[in-house]
Amino acid sequence: MTFFSIENLSISFGGLRALEDIQFDLQQGEIYSIIGPNGAGKTTLFNCINGIYRPDRGSIRFEHRELVGLKPDRIAKLGIARTFQNIELFNNMNCMENIMLGRHIFIKTGILRGGLMWGRKSFAGREESAHRRKVEEIIDLLDLQAARNQLVGGLPYGTQKLVELGRALALEPKLLLLDEPCAGMNSEEKQDMIFWIKDIQDELGITILLIEHDMQMVMDISDRILVINFGKTITEGTPEQVQKHPEVLKAYLGEEEDIDHVA
């Protein structure tokens, strides 16, 4: 059984082919990275998996279920969570409430039982406390204690990225999509983030699909890598294989032949 697979995925916007016949599959528990220059279609691919865009052709299967055509909230309920390239947090909620929203799909309190909440012994009160405990675990895991009661809009950029990761983890996903989790971070924050991503994979057993521009990091933590450009697959394979691919070398290390010529 394949855990997650994408077949012949294509989407175009007003004649522009953003993705063309993308095809890959994920093994449970691996870290799979997607790299490629800006505008290659990486985030578009995430948006297709999430159900924000509807692809023109192709299929996305997750645990034998077809995701194409499902709404984003249905896909979230199946166990796919994500973070965003440009942070998309709920700026007027504090850090704890943001992560608490990640618990949304597990909470059963509806409008009546929520509105009529009567102390901590009531159904809503008990449920809130139980999920609050889960949130505290995530806050501990990511060292967010100092930020827990602050509005996220005012937090430093790196911390906001972490809160977003925490919110995604609160969904208890089976598959986690990380869209440039280290963008704009300094090297220390980056080290921490790499550590946490590793942790999430090892300890929580969550499969991770990663978009990242930092080659060093991608080569270090990925099990397999997909390289795309202009919406098309260039190559796929382990970090070693990908590093040897001529087009990848050309894109990321400059054209060796040219350098030879100049020399």
Partner 1 sequence: MDMKREYFEDVRIFTSGAVLFWFVVLIIGLVAIPRVLPNYYVYMANYMAINVIVAIGLNLLVGFTGQISLGHAGFFAIGAYGTVVLMSLAGFPFLLALAVAALIAAIFGFLIGFPALRLEGPYLTIATLGFGLTITLVIGKIELFGGRNGLHTPPLTVFGWHLESDKDFYYLLIPITVLLAWFARNLIRTKVGRAFVAIRDADVAAETMGVNLAYYKTLSFAVSAFYTGVAGGLYAFVLRFIEPELFSLVMSITFLAYIVVGGLGSIMGSITGACLISWLDLQLRNILSIPYLGEWLKSLSQNYFSITGVSNIQYIVLGLIIILIMIFEPLGLYGIWIRTKKYWMTWPF
Partner 2 sequence: MLDFFQMILSGIAVGSSYALMALAMVIIYKTSEVVNFAQGEMALASSYFTFMLLTSYGFSFIAAFISAYLFALLLGAVLEFAILRRAKEPNLLGLIIITIGMEFMLLGFVSWKFGADQQIFPFPISPYDSISIGGAFFSMLELISLVIAIFIMVLLFFFFRYSKLGMAMKATQQNPVAARIMGIRTKRIMMLTWGISSMVGCTAGLLISPMLMEPFMMWDSMLKGFSSAVLGGMTSLPGAVAGAYILGIIENLFGGYVSIEFKSVVAFAIIVLILCVKPSGLFARHYVKKL
For position 129 contacting partner 1 by CB under 8 A, the verdict is yes
Report yes or no: 34 and 46 within 8 Å, Cβ to Cβ: no
- Give the residue with the Cβ less far from partner 1, 108 or 244: 108
Pick one of partner 1, partner 2, none as the site partner of residue 157 (Cβ within 5 to 8 A by kind): none
Nearer to partner 2, 84 or 106 (CB): 84
Tell which one of 155, 171, 218, 221 touches partner 1 (CB under 8 A).
Answer: 171
Per-position x/- string for 136-165, each x denoting binding to partner 1 as judged by CB under 8 A, each - no binding: x--------xx--x----------------
Distance CA 195, CA 85 (A): 19
Dmax (CA) for the chain in angstroms is 78
The pair of three-digit structure tokens given for residue 143, joined into one six-digit string: 């060292």
* Residue number, 55 or 102, with CB nearest to partner 1: 102
Per CB under 8 A, which of residues 10..49 are in contact with partner 2?
43, 47
Q: To the nearest whole angstrom, how small is the minimum distance from the Cβ of residue 20 to partner 2?
A: 20
Partner whose binding site includes residue 109, from partner 1, partner 2, none (CB under 5 to 8 Å by kind): partner 1
Distance between CA atoms of residues 31 and 210, nearest Å: 7
Residues that bind partner 2 (CB under 8 A): 43, 47, 52, 84-86, 88
